[in-house]
Amino acid sequence: MEFEKKKLDRRSFLLGSADLGGFILGCLGPLRINLSEFTKSPPRRTIPLDQNGSYTFISIGDSLAAGWGGINNAQGVPESWVGPMVAQLNTVRQRHTRQPTAGSSSSYRDWQYVSNFLLSEAGLTSGGLLDKMQSPDVIHSLETPNQAVLCVSLGFNDIDDFRTGTVLDFLMLHTKLDSYQQNLQSIIEKFKIARTGKEDYATCILLGLPNLDEVPAVTKAVRGTLLEGRAGLIAKEVNQRMVAVCNSSVDISMAYVDLFNHSSIPKSLFSSDGLHPNGPGYEQIGAIAAQTVDIMVE
DSSP states along 23-67: HHHHHHHHHHHHHHTT-SPPPP--EEEETT--EEEEEEESHHHHT
Question: What structural domains does the chain harbor?
Answer: 18-97+108-296 (3.40.50.1110)
291 half-sphere exposure, CB direction, 13 A CA radius: 12
* pLDDT tens-digit map of 258-297: 999 987 889 999 999 999 999 999 999 999 999 999 888 7
CA gap 290, 186 in Å, rounded: 25
Tell whether the model's pLDDT for residue 225 goes beyond 90.
no
**Cβ contacts of 134 within 8 Å, gap of 6 or more:** none
| pLDDT score, position 227 | 79
State percent of the chain over pLDDT 70. Answer: 74
Asked whether the beta carbons of 35 and 28 are under 8 A apart, the reply is: no
Task: Count the neighbouring beta carbons within 10 Å of the beta carbon of residue 264.
Answer: 7
Asked whether the beta carbons of 42 and 258 are under 8 A apart, the reply is: yes
- Global pTM? 0.82
**Cβ contacts of 167 within 8 Å, gap of 6 or more:** 13, 15, 20, 23, 24, 27
| pLDDT score, position 284 | 94
What does DSSP assign to residue 103? T
CA gap 58, 152 in Å, rounded: 8
Residue type, 50: D
74 half-sphere exposure, CB direction, 13 A CA radius: 2
Tell whether the model's pLDDT for residue 21 goes beyond 60.
no
Higher pLDDT, 242 or 15: 242
| pLDDT score, position 15 | 41
| pLDDT score, position 34 | 41
* pLDDT tens-digit map of 149-176: 999 999 999 988 766 656 556 677 888 9
